[in-house]
Amino acid sequence: MNGTDKSVAFLVAKEGIEQVELTDPWQAVRDAGATPRLISPEPGTVQAYHHLTPADAFPVDQVAAEADATEFAALVLPGGVPNGDLLRWQEPARDFLRRFLDTGRPVAVICHGGWILIDVDAVRGRRITSWPSMATDYRNAGADWADEPLIVDNAGSFTLISSRKPDDLPAFCEELVRQLDKV
């Protein structure tokens, strides 16, 4: 993959996505010359939020069950409490994530987006950050959780980029783009 040939998957649930945690990385991917693609377990549109207030709706590019994980240079898991919680129990989303993890390509997760990583046992032995309320969940899943703006963990079969919250988005987006340059 090179430059304009790269696509980045953004895996989200039907609703509850923290909008800025979707749109800022999306724009960073575009600005880097790659193509962001919205993947969801269900077709149609997904509903983003500004914390608890409904914001914009976004069209789904492809349903998770039909998406070919090998077509993507990276995967982004945006936050939002409802998004993270809904995504983790949807088998098509978990299956897509497992297929993507098998590619060995970078995964970038922010805020509550990582609950699905716990459900597919992808954080054991990894260093990660998130919204602080998830610390116990990560530690119980075998991760080394830390309260830092950005953590890049290269210890496993894929690079894991993680951040805590919207304030961390500049560093998160910069690292995502840096990792895209390596793929």
* Nearest CA among 115, 126, 112, 130 for reference residue 168: 130
CA triple 60-177-40, angle to 5 deg: 15
Q: Is 111 a residue of the active site?
A: yes
CA distance 160 to 154: 7
Q: Is 112 a residue of the active site?
A: yes
**Active-site residue identified among 50, 51, 111, 173:** 111
CA distance 25 to 8: 10
Catalytic residue numbers read 111-112
